[in-house]
Structure 1
Amino acid sequence: MVKLSPKPIVYATSGGPVRNRTIGGDLSKRSPRRRRSLSHSQFRMQRSFSLASQLAKRRGFSTNSEKIVASVLFERLPVVIPKIDPVVYAFQEFKFRWQQQYRRRYPDEFLDKANARGKGDYQIDYVPAPRITEADKTNDRKSLQRALDRRLYLLLYGASIGAPDKKPIWHFPEKAYETEETLRKCAESALESVLGGLSHTYFVGNAPMAHMVVPPTETAQVPSLKRFFFKSQVIATNKFNIGKCEDFVWVTKDELMEYFPDQAEFFKKMIIS
């Protein structure tokens, strides 16, 4: 009868014995396994996940007394080319004359052949449309056929979110954020409720262009709200059936400041053009 050796079996390679690679030996005598160090990307991912979980827990306490509102800056782009500033026009004339002095000279026979050709039917005389329309003469701010070389913005007159004593005031199309997937969806709902559809609109980007924090007033104890502005543009139409308001106007940037004297500086920075 062959007796088994109590010693552990040690495997070896051609280079010599390998330590601590035993079968049947005492596990307590093995060297502790080193922990694998996290890479830089894994560390950042783990840290961002922990921060996100902390913010998710605290989110319920950060917006209890605040209301989020999505407003839409609905604009009509210029229809005609704006007039050139006199300074710019003078510089363009000087540049053209300067280039004519040092332009390349061609033989006369080439120039005569080019001038001998007829103008053709492509040069048709036309009368340009007037820049000043009837809406400009009567100051009809409900019409889009005015200020053709300027941008126009839609303003509504009626009940607004956060208005003191719930009085009707001038404001942009707006809606309080409820259960929409994103703030842009909320802004689209606000504009759709006013126009009846979004077939002739185009929203510029998914992020808001600006935001305003409206603190509560002393006279009316209303919770503070954060108003986020989204830009949208008129596409392929010059008339809308605007509803859900007592009145509306299409105004330029300069005329817009007349309706918001207290927030004039804010809107001047928000509306660059």
Structure 2
Amino acid sequence: MRRTLRSLIGPVSGQRGFSTNSEKIVASVLFERLPVVVPKIDPVVYAFQEFSFRWQQQYRRRYPDELLDKSNSRSLQRALDRRLYLLLHGTTYGAPTGKPVWHFPEKVYESEETLRQCAESALKHVIGDLSNTYFVGNAPMAHMVIQPTETSTKSPSFKRFFFKSQVIATNKFDIGKCEDFVWVTKEEVMEYFPEQVEFFKRMIIS
């Protein structure tokens, strides 16, 4: 008989399961676009396409130089030989003083039957429709425990569980419910989360 998430959360603090009464759990989605196999482009053609794209993007919002040059990172049509991952910019649970931060699509578990359903709800909230997505497995692929730091002692401790979902048969999503978004490679992910580099190196295999 399939057990619900509620049945896994014990009533006594410290009981084995996803969480305890005093600790929140968050379902986070590693939304991934797999590499696209394409013929090699002539260097002259590639240079022209790159110039054209950057010309179109020149009046769009510029990102801090200390992060990355993201002039084309809002498109799924970049780094076609690499895996890309969706990051959102906005407020999220556990962010210091409630300020907008970069994060994966995520949602605090509330009343869903399973944690995967919570993850599906998190992704649906930002892309609106899950028709062009595929969730890999029913169980989380990894998790981390977030503890208060010296600079954010008032932030709550909680557990974040990661699920993997993949882009299927589309090259564009109408992404909303956030201040901004980017599609980044594995190496670029590390630039956004320098304090969790080792964790993401182990979790993201590509």
Interval containing the TM-score (normalised by the shorter chain): 0.7 to 0.9
Normalising by structure 1, what TM-score?
Answer: 0.59
Contact 1:135 1:145 in 2 (8 A): no
Equivalent residue for 2:50? 134
* Cα distance, 1:222 vs structure 2: 2.6
The offset of 1:129, in angstroms, is 6.2
Aligned pairs for 1:103-252 (under 5 A) are 128=39, 130=41, 132=46, 134=50, 138=54, 139-218=71-150, 219-252=152-185
Whole-angstrom CA distance in 2 between matches of 1:148 and 1:136: 17
Change in CA separation of 1:68 and 1:195 when aligned onto 2, cut-off 3 Å: same
What letter matches 2:11 in structure 1? R
Q: Distance in 2 between matches of 1:71 and 1:270?
A: 13
Say yes or no: does 1:263 pair with 2:179. Answer: no
Higher helix share: 1
CA distance in 2, matches of 1:237, 1:265: 31
What is the aligned length? 173
Is 1:67–2:19 an aligned residue pair?
no
DSSP-derived class of the 2:85 partner: strand
Q: What whole-Å deviation, never above 9, does each CA across 1:87-110 have from its counterpart, x for those lacking one?
A: xxxxxxxxxxxxxxxxxxxxxxxx
In structure 2, how many angstroms separate the alpha carbons of the residues matched to 1:186 and 1:201?
A: 15
Structure 2: distance between partners of 1:181 and 1:129: 47
SS at match of 1:147: coil
Q: Describe the shift of the 1:196–1:166 C-alpha distance in structure 2 as closer, same or farther (beyond 3 A).
A: same
1:232-260 Cα distance to aligned partner (Å, 9 max, x none): 00000000000010000000001111100
Specify whether residues 192 and 57 from structure 1 end up closer, same or farther in structure 2 by C-alpha distance, changes over 3 A only: closer
* CA distance, structure 1, for counterparts of residue 159 and residue 129 of structure 2: 26
CA distance in 1, matches of 2:88, 2:127: 12
* CA displacement 1:153-203 (0-9 Å, x = unmatched): 000000011011001000000000011010000000000000001000000
User: Residue type matched to 1:79 in 2?
Assistant: V
Identify unmatched segments of 5+ residues in structure 1. Answer: 1-54, 82-127
Distance of aligned partners of 1:179 and 1:217 in 2 relative to their CA distance in 1, 3 Å threshold: same
Structure (1 or 2) with the larger CA radius of gyration? 1
Identify the residue that residue 68 of structure 2 maps to in structure 1: none
* Structure 2: stretches of 5+ with no match in the other structure: 1-6, 15-19, 55-70
Task: Decide whether the 8 Å contact of 1:69 with 1:227 is kept in 2.
Answer: yes
| Displacement after TM superposition at 1:57 (Å) | 9.8
1:256 aligns to what SS in structure 2?
helix
The residue type paired with residue 33 of structure 2 is: R
Relative to the length of structure 2, the TM-score reads 0.78
> What's the secondary structure of 1:268's corresponding residue?
helix
Superposition CA RMSD, Å: 2.2
Deviation for aligned residue 1:61: 2.7
* Structure having greater relative contact order (Cα 8 Å, sep ≥ 6): 2
State the alpha-carbon separation in 1 of the partners of residues 111 and 180 from structure 2: 29
Residue 10 of structure 2 is aligned to residue 77 of structure 1: no
